[in-house]
Structure 1
Amino acid sequence: MGHAQSPHGLDRRAIPQRSSTWAARAADLLAAARIRPNHISISSIVLGALAGVAFALSATESTGARIAWLLIAAATMPLRLLMNMVDGMLAVEKGMSSPTGDLYNEVPDRLADVFVLAGAGYGVSGLVALGRVDVGVALGWSAALLAVLTAYVRSLGAAQGVKNFFAGPMPKPIRMWVMTAAALVSMLEPALGITRGWVIVVGLIVVALGSLATVIIRLRLIAAALHAKAAS
């Protein structure tokens, strides 16, 4: 995905919805209520944890209860993305940034990624095993690690004096939409004749492989930018 330079000098991912009327109105209401961007950033952990717990609890529940937990997971992930967008709007457009804003922007997001993806892995535990290794759990943690690594590599560009690189097929919004779709389609597995949990397994594989590709692409872009900077 592309990036945008904010008036305050912060690299931000380009989000079309940020310029929408409803988003601006939401930011106005939150600013009027004196809700700080850092408070909204913390909500990412809460929503990520809720999604992860919902995924995990769906593993042992009956069909009806499982659908309810998957609906909760599917609802909280887009809400997390909304909070991520609004906190940036408050910080930049409303001038409510703080010296610790970057910490609040990054750390809760990384924890939320881990909660969502690891939780999804536990949600398909017991489905496949290789020896003593539960493939679902291992896949969830692998996807979580690679998701965190995409963000680390992205910020590494800025730390090296070039910029944040948002390129790659599996940035945070795509990760969340993939898992949202997996949660929704997983509810239909019995009707589709698919073994319970396999749709979420496929979602985790897509996130893991896409995140790995994203890490490689971003590292190559950073290396090219550093070579260009050294040559100039």
Structure 2
Amino acid sequence: MNEPSARRPLKIRDVKIVNSFARYLSGKNITPNQISVTSVVFAALSAGCFLLFAQNQHWWLLILAGLMIQCRLLCNLFDGMVAVEGGKSTKSGELFNDIPDRVADPLILVSAGYAIHVVSYGGELGWCAGLLAVMTAYIRTLSASIGAPVDFKGPMAKQHRMAVLTFACVFAAIEVVLQYTDYSLLIALTLIVVGCVITCIRRTISAYRFLEA
């Protein structure tokens, strides 16, 4: 795992119940790396829900997809807390901290694209969102590797992307019940694509200015 100064700033780490559960996990025979890998399992479950929705449009599959997205984020939260606050960090921890995210993001975003019924290009939009999500992380890690500060700025950092898609799952489920449409997913992925492009540009400019200063 990274040092605390290089971690994504999250206010939720200061919430008492979150700290209590992190301490509980730290006291068990559970490693941060195991938690990180589990995040991919939840991402795959979310992807499965989206793909099943693409076939039969049951509204509750969208709710399950959103729930699995949040479970994935909880894994992302607790792997770092168990590693740093729980004192279980390892030399290989950064690999497990980063690689599962690069798998989980495209799994969720691409499958969400295929779940869209209101347009014919949902799959392409999902692939675009997935690739750009990976690109935002690539620019962050590349910049840090050549001496720039670790940059988690948005507007579409990981937590922002997943928040937008989770809300879209809820709204799309309501849409399906009332109108049998899923414009919310289309709007969400469009926002994610545009936001990721802006995020990539902002992170690149910040790194350039720092390195050339």
Normalising by the smaller structure, the TM-score range is over 0.9
Partner of 2:187: 202
Q: 1:123/1:190 Cα in 2 relative to 1: closer, same or farther (>3 Å)? A: closer
Partner of 1:142: 128
State the SS of the aligned residue for 1:59: helix
Shift of 1:165: 0.5
**CA–CA distance in structure 2, aligned partners of residues 32 and 51 of structure 1:** 29
**CA–CA distance in structure 2, aligned partners of residues 217 and 13 of structure 1:** 17
Structure 2 residue 166 is matched with structure 1 residue 171: no
Partner of 1:3: none
State TM-score, norm by structure 1: 0.87
Q: 1:44/1:159 Cα in 2 relative to 1: closer, same or farther (>3 Å)? A: same
Partner of 1:105: 97
State the SS of the aligned residue for 1:206: helix
Shift of 1:192: 5.3
RMSD: 1.7
Q: 1:32/1:14 Cα in 2 relative to 1: closer, same or farther (>3 Å)? A: same
Pick from 185, 196, 207: which aligns with 1:211? 196
Structure in which a larger fraction of residues adopt helix: 2
Pick from 118, 121, 126: which aligns with 2:113? 121
Residue deviations 1:129-169 (CA, integer Å, cap 9, x gap): 3xxxxx10000000000001011111112101122111120
**CA–CA distance in structure 2, aligned partners of residues 191 and 41 of structure 1:** 35
Structure 2 residue 67 is matched with structure 1 residue 75: yes
Conserved 8 A contact 1:56-1:121:
no
State the SS of the aligned residue for 2:7: strand
Conserved 8 A contact 2:60-2:173:
no
Deviation larger for 182-191 or 136-145? 182-191
Tell me, which stretches of 5 or more residues in structure 2 are unaligned? none
Q: 1:58/1:207 Cα in 2 relative to 1: closer, same or farther (>3 Å)? A: same
Conserved 8 A contact 2:2-2:94:
no
Identity of aligned residues (%): 37
**CA–CA distance in structure 2, aligned partners of residues 67 and 112 of structure 1:** 23
Residue deviations 1:90-147 (CA, integer Å, cap 9, x gap): 111122111111110111011100110011011115x423xxxxx1000000000000
Which letter maps to 2:44?
Answer: A
Structure 2 residue 72 is matched with structure 1 residue 87: no
Q: 1:104/1:10 Cα in 2 relative to 1: closer, same or farther (>3 Å)? A: farther
Give the number of aligned pairs: 213
Structure in which a larger fraction of residues adopt strand: 1
**CA–CA distance in structure 2, aligned partners of residues 114 and 103 of structure 1:** 18
Which letter maps to 2:196?
Answer: S
Conserved 8 A contact 1:56-1:122:
yes
Partner of 2:142: 156
Conserved 8 A contact 1:40-1:87:
yes
Partner of 1:16: 11
State TM-score, norm by structure 2: 0.94
